[in-house]
Amino acid sequence: MSSVPATGLPAPALLTTPLTALHRALGARMVPFAGYDMPVQYPAGVIAEHRHTRNAAGLFDVSHMGQIRLDGPQAAAALESLVPVDVVGLKAGQQRYGFFTNEAGGILDDLMIVRPPEADDCGDLLLVVNAACKAADLAHLQSHIGSRCSVSPLPDRALLALQGPRAVDVLQALNPTVSELRFMQGRALDLAGARCFITRSGYTGEDGFEISVPGAQCEALARTLLSDGRVQAIGLGARDTLRLEAGMCLYGHDIDTQTSPIEAGLQWAIQKVRRPSGERAGGYLGAERISRELASGVTRKRVGLLGQERAPVREGSTLHDVHGVEIGRVTSGTLGPTVNQPVAMAWLITAHAEPGSQVYAEVRGKRLPMSVAAMPFTPHRYQR
């Protein structure tokens, strides 16, 4: 297959992470993802990797994600002009989920925000953003708040995620202090000779940790973790099935620049202090629309769907009511290995979005019955 696209120019070379050689040594099938050469699965396969993460500990290379540090006494207040969440109120060592919004109230990206207990290599605030958005996010930050605080990418840091019920046991063997962290807390700790910043969080619904580590020490740490028999390497395929069962959005699929946080069911991430009548209400891009939707509701919603037949329903499938009228579209879908049933996320007209409502997905000329279901599809197991 030619690497020269229709433009006549050579295709851009894929970026790599510090673990690319290790992935290949482990027999990974590599695929392009967000401009990177990434492992989609290992020889055991997606279902086995998914189940291992649910039952033991899975190691994910998420070094393609963007890490950005903000520094300065105004960093938190400045960031609040770009996100509708409480950053000023973040306590030292606390992490919070958030999203950048645009002038129209759509979502530019979702991200994690943490205030390290002490400013170190990760700054006064550490942000983790999506790989496909990180260049745009960095430019967005620099153009809007670069005069109020220092905005610095951290390309020399890698990111690992260790997820699953045995993750804490594995990390405790390297540093017992890890067990002191609760869900959505973070601190700098040494692991296998590397100074890391660790948060107790993740993208699977399981207890677990995300580990920011200097890139030069990433492979040594990964090999140490994989030497523990409870740990297996996990690829992008299982990462997607795990997050979908956990009811977590994938940016660019379930949420995007055209969808608001309220439509997406993410109003839980907008704290009272940032809502209308709150102490620091508004003041961020798109606040007018989001405030209006908080008060008056929306015409469509992100929902979960459970299939009533065995065939999985994939992204892009249209959804119809009992009369055949189109009422929505599937944004993510798979056969959930844990729930052993087709699961999906979709946008639906609000009138059809109540749990238990019956809809029909168009799949290869057939209408497959699905029911609206509360998410997550499998219970979260965070250690609060």
Size (the chain), residues: 384
As its CATH architecture, domain 299-373 has Beta Barrel (2.40)
Token pair for 79: 């960031």
- The CATH number assigned to the domain with range 20-60+156-245 reads 3.30.1360.120
Amino acid letter, residue 19: L
pTM of this prediction?
0.95
Q: How far apart are CA 187 and CA 83, in angstroms?
A: 23
Domain ranges of the chain: 20-60+156-245, 299-373
Q: What is the mean pLDDT of the chain?
A: 96
pLDDT digit string (tens) for 90-148?
A: 999 999 999 999 999 999 999 999 999 986 667 899 999 999 999 999 999 999 999 99
pLDDT band at 283 (very low <50, low <70, confident <90, very high): very high
Confidence of residue 20 (pLDDT cuts 50, 70, 90): very high
Q: Is the pLDDT of residue 21 over 90?
A: yes
Give the tokens for residue 378: 């499998």
pLDDT in tens, 62-99: 999 999 999 999 999 999 999 999 999 999 999 999 99
Q: What is the pLDDT of residues 192-236, one digit of tens each?
A: 999 999 999 999 999 999 999 999 999 999 999 999 999 999 999
Over the stretch 32-64, which tens digit does the pLDDT of each residue have? 999 999 999 999 999 999 999 999 999 999 999
Is the predicted pLDDT of residue 11 greater than 80, yes or no? no
